[in-house]
Structure 1
């Protein structure tokens, strides 16, 4: 039973809801070069299908979070998933690249799954327990983006790029059915008005602690978002991988992400969220430095990229559950708004880095701009976490 007295949804329900967005973002990545040829557009233009999705996801989270605080978690989640399904079917029949990009904006409504799942967890338990539960949810969710590009690559070679969108539609429809069957409303203290929710943003933005958690999450995820934009180009154009091969290797980072989330669920309550965030950031930095060393040493092999990226996935899995649990716990009565605002900062920063990654990579540059961008993003997250730990220790010493 939750603290609100309402039966919480099963873990599978939250996993399914949270996984729809990542599947829609990742499943068609192996198809990007082929889609560019299909629509007769440059790869940089086709990559906007990723960047636009991230930008729309960031903007929508600013609305979805407060809407769930005002109207409830269940109705907002159901409405967003219906819009996602409409956009996904429309994408299959998109006649131009511009129409496809518009459909990707509609698909971004699937971001409600992760935003509202975090808020539902915070409706039920405290901060440290929330980090543990979010870790387990994300661990289960990470199976989907791990196998999604693998399946997407195979489907692309067998049936064309549209098959990946049909897979997203079927999965989203199954998730919606489970939500309708299992999810009851957990927000029993709805806000008085939608406008009042936006007035809560200054209270969150004025919190140094909220910014620390939000920026740690944003820079942590930034390395991953840079990879999903620049990685397909490096893999196909520089390492000569086919779509199905890229999908297979992409599973390495998802495997690391799954392991990191499992460790978060297992150890967050023992070590605390700050230590989990710091350890994750250090793993990510190590992985990127290892990849840079391998390529500088002349080892131009897929594992020189995808092997070290395992540690980036591991770091994300260790850091993000704790960072997200922290930001929704700064002001628990604003969990939905905090989840939406924090998610917007996280995804918005990721979108900026994804565009920058593609802009920096050229046939002459090799993979180095991408690797340096991923390293610097992870290092920034590490610095913010260290600063927060130092501030809290000084505050504790001053209190004593």
Structure 2
């Protein structure tokens, strides 16, 4: 039958009947954009995220972009972020007109390197976007006070970290704002696109709310040029139902990660991810490193057994054609470049159990002992 890589369909089965019944009620009222379903979710998600308020938006990319726009980020400014992130993080910066300034990662956790981040700060730095990558929160304590003293905004890219808590503080609540994606395969995923911004800065969120709704909070009132980026009611219904289960699902993902550690620990050639063994990692992805020359052979071997894997991300931002204009070259981010050739994401979702993890580990071990298939150019 195989092993799924991610499990949004398994999550949907847990809310199916409840969601369909709620959809019928929304349909009867005819309120498909905004309305009580959205405001109820925003309130619940703000409480869950340890913030005063939340604003639902169309997707996670818009959450970042609209937050930066609300902060006044624009041409002439610099925004510091991780080089090993999904392109959306840097797209959001680019579309404000600001310059993305990239930082290499820690080789064990893959999170942004704190010392290098501090070194990249300049008089033009308007914001920092730490990326809570793969579900693990960045410890911002080494540089947060520096940012605040210089008046630099901190916008947490929490797209992969809904439910994570570091020293009791939820992802998105440590900086000035937290930005979330509710893409279906996220730990808190909608049934389509969706996103949110959380903050305890009511002035900032008021600006986000205006920007998401054509520049005004009420119909036909446009205080400034805005955008169309609203969270749909049907998505908000699903998110509210999943939010009630999120802590349970996060605990299950951590159990799966523990199983992986037990079953993969003694396999030569497998490097396990570093983490704090607490609630600061919700394992949106379980990412290991393999020898570069063996990775694709292992992936093909697992696929033949019905086990799907992925690579997040095959190229760091500076090597993407879209951002070559930033002027970085090969070797500028050696850790990210090294890791990108070796990382692989193994199946991780609420349907995984120890038997499934053991099977994945067995097939990884078997594949590593096979002679790699000949690859063009090597």
Q: Would you tell me which structure has more helix in proportion to its own residues?
A: 1
Which structure has the bigger radius of gyration? 2
Q: Would you tell me which structure has more strand in proportion to its own residues?
A: 2
Normalising by the residue count of structure 2, what TM-score does the alignment of the two structures yield? 0.29
Query: Looking at both structures, which has the greater relative contact order when contacts are Cα pairs under 8 Å and sequence separation is at least 6?
Result: 1
Normalising by the residue count of structure 1, what TM-score does the alignment of the two structures yield? 0.27
